[in-house]
Structure 1
Amino acid sequence: MMTNLFSVFDPSTNIFNMSLNWLSTFLGLLMIPSMFWFIPSRYQLIWNKTLITLHNEFKILLEPNNHNSSSFIFISLFTMILFNNFLGLFPYIFTSTSHLTFTLSLALPLWMSFMIYGWLNNTQYMFAHLVPQGTPAILMPFMVCIETISNIIRPGTLAVRLAANMIAGHLLLILLGNTGSSLSYYILNLLIMAQIMLLILEAAVAIIQSYVFAVLSTLYFSEVN
């Protein structure tokens, strides 16, 4: 039962034995060029306002380190994750952010680059960061182990958080949707209303999870400076 339930997330779309699932990640490239040729619409103005707001928020996190321009990296990360999260809400479109292959491919290189940058440029600070200020001498070895482990698992927690949240909502929608054929007309109306509410909730989760991923990446970057 569980195998059949989770098999809905397996990459299975293909034409002539060529997998088309991961092409959903690149669909945005077909729509982006039009922004450079048409007069800005209300949607583009809203999106620009959103990007400016994100830049100001990320700049606050990075301001002590004078790396304000780095916020554009995390804005791009937010945009990419948000786009793929929303694509997964449409029928018959592969949800790439529900797979650890995709989320780890985003989190692991970011974390590795932060660690390499921090240990090469701020070695003394990175060592000092392993022992929080005010820690008793007898607890310092344990704190070093705890801080090291918590630092190592950061890319995993980033990846699992995003993938698990996307899978959970989709699974609930699928479970409720599969029961529709066996329900009465009155109960079916209630089910449709519940599905619509869940879809709205999933849209909010798509925004929140992309924002959380970008903010945590920004915080991890600010810690190595």
Structure 2
Amino acid sequence: MMMNLFSSFDPSTNLGFNLNWFSVVTMLIITPPMFWLIPSRFHFMWMKIIFSLHKEFKTLLGENKTQGSSLIFISLFSMILFSNFIGLFPYIFTSTSHMSMTLSLSLPLWLSFMLYGWLNNTTHMLSHLIPQGTPPVLMPFMVCIETISNLIRPGTLAIRLSANMIAGHLLLTLLGNTGPTMSLLMLNLLIITQILLLTLESAVAVIQSYVFAILSTLYSKEVN
């Protein structure tokens, strides 16, 4: 039994099993057989998703500036999607609900983009601090605003992903804990509500993975 509401997000309290972070690397164990077994329907479906993402990322990055960069964001999308989905199963730790996980993904990406941009395209990066058509009086303020918005990007990426994962799981936990005290009619209504919320969480898992990858792609495009 959980000691408090947030204990489901603590990797050391789920059934006393302290290896819940192992769910992050489970994908690395189950993915390789896809490449040497006879292609299945799942394989064809996943390859279709990958090619669709590659086409979209290539459009955002530009035809001449891709050079395999889209593979990084496809891998990022796949990892976050798998971590989000595996966290929907009972008694499995949701790694993407922790800032230590999401910030470890967003901060190195953002830092590498900034270093590359300022070292190789300094003039281009400086021009981004002042949007086109800004009056001269407002230019100092726009530089401050653009600098702050640029610095908080890794934090917003990390918080958006972890907060969305926490919110849905907390709601499912809150409703699930009220089950034993309900009547039979209300219990049936609760089960239907939980199924609908689980469907919503599945959609959120896909959307948040896509949003994280798309925003990372857009940040990468700005430094070129």
TM range (shorter): over 0.9
TM-score if structure 1 supplies the norm length?
A: 0.95
Structure 1 match to 2:195? 196
Structure 1 match to 2:218? 219
Change in Cα spacing, 1:20 to 1:14, as seen in structure 2 (3 Å) is farther
Instruction: Give the Cα separation in 1 of the matches to 2:29 and 2:111.
Output: 31
TM-score if structure 2 supplies the norm length?
A: 0.95
Structure 2 match to 1:55? 54
Instruction: Give the Cα separation in 2 of the matches to 1:61 and 1:68.
Output: 13
Kept in 1: contact 2:99–2:158 (CA 8 A): yes
Change in Cα spacing, 1:195 to 1:93, as seen in structure 2 (3 Å) is same
Structure 2 match to 1:156? 155
Give percent identity, aligned residues only: 69
Structure 2 match to 1:92? 91
Letter in 2 for 1:197: L
Change in Cα spacing, 1:64 to 1:137, as seen in structure 2 (3 Å) is farther
Secondary structure of 1:130 counterpart: coil
**How many residues were matched structurally?**
222
Residue 4 in structure 1 maps to residue 4 in structure 2: yes
RMSD over aligned CA atoms reads 1.6
- Aligned-pair distance for 1:28? 1.3
Change in Cα spacing, 1:123 to 1:64, as seen in structure 2 (3 Å) is farther
Letter in 1 for 2:4: N
Structure 2 match to 1:123? 122
Instruction: Give the Cα separation in 2 of the matches to 1:153 and 1:56.
Output: 29
Gaps of 5+ in 2: none
Instruction: Give the Cα separation in 2 of the matches to 1:29 and 1:70.
Output: 21
Q: Deviations over 1:107-160 (max 9, x none)?
A: 000000000000000001111110011111110000000000000000000000
Instruction: Give the Cα separation in 1 of the matches to 2:69 and 2:9.
Output: 34
Q: Which runs of 4+ in 1 moved over 6 A?
A: none
Letter in 1 for 2:210: Y
